Amino acid sequence: MDSLFCSKLLILKQMRTLIRYGIGVLVLMAMACGGAKTVTSPEEMEALDNLVAKRSFEINARWARPMASQALNSISNARLLPYGSNASQVDITGNASYLRLVDDMVKADLPYFGERQMSGPYNSQNTGIQFEGVPEDLQIEPNSKTKGYTMRFNINNGSESFQVIAQLFPSRSSSISITSSQRTQIRYDGTLSEYNKDEE
């Protein structure tokens, strides 16, 4: 009986040791995965600072990220979205999809995927998000968390109001979040570049 008790005790000790080593390995793996951070070079930071200071840049959207809904799921299941897209992300490369800032003027032409929250004038020619003009409350401030900039403004296109927040990253990637007075919120991901007026 004593030998049976001793063997069970030995097995318990071995299991505890294995569990301790297993937890240690898991902790090290978690730290290794979480420790990979993007390092921003001084050159990237300076280039972004100069781009923002000139106030002449454009965000070219590559992906639209609408709020998921039953209607979008139905469209996705019917395979009516572009190849490689689904209800929560739509590939919009190939479309002229942009948000532009020149001095104190903003202009946007972005496709929209989502639902209207309230009725508005129906225009089958312009179903996307479009606006142009001098925005209200334009702010471009450094973002210490992303080491980039956050641009915020409000604008009205005559029939709809938009609240826009754009994140500008040193890697020249960017994201745009648009809240509308008539539609569900949508986000866009894309690239940031200098805007040249002569190219129009």
Ordered by start, the domain boundaries in the chain are 1-32, 42-199
Cα distance between the two ends of the chain: 91
Question: What does 78-112 look like in DSSP terms, one character per residue?
Answer: TT-SPTT-BTTBEE-TTS--EEEEETTEEEEEE--
Determine the Cα–Cα distance for residues 138 and 162; give it in Å rounded to an integer.
Answer: 13
Give the Cα separation of 120 and 117 in Å (integer): 9
Around Cβ 156, how many Cβ atoms within 10 Å? Answer: 13
Each residue's pLDDT tens digit, 114-161 = 887 765 555 555 678 999 999 999 999 999 998 999 999 999 988 889
| pTM beyond 0.85 | no
2.30.110.10, 2.40.128.410, 1.10.8.80, 3.40.1280.10: CATH of 42-199: 2.40.128.410
Give tens-digit pLDDT for 87-124. Answer: 788 889 888 899 999 999 999 999 998 887 765 555 55
Report which of 169, 178, 38 is spatially closest to residue 113, judged by C-alpha positions: 178
At residue 30, does pLDDT exceed 70? no
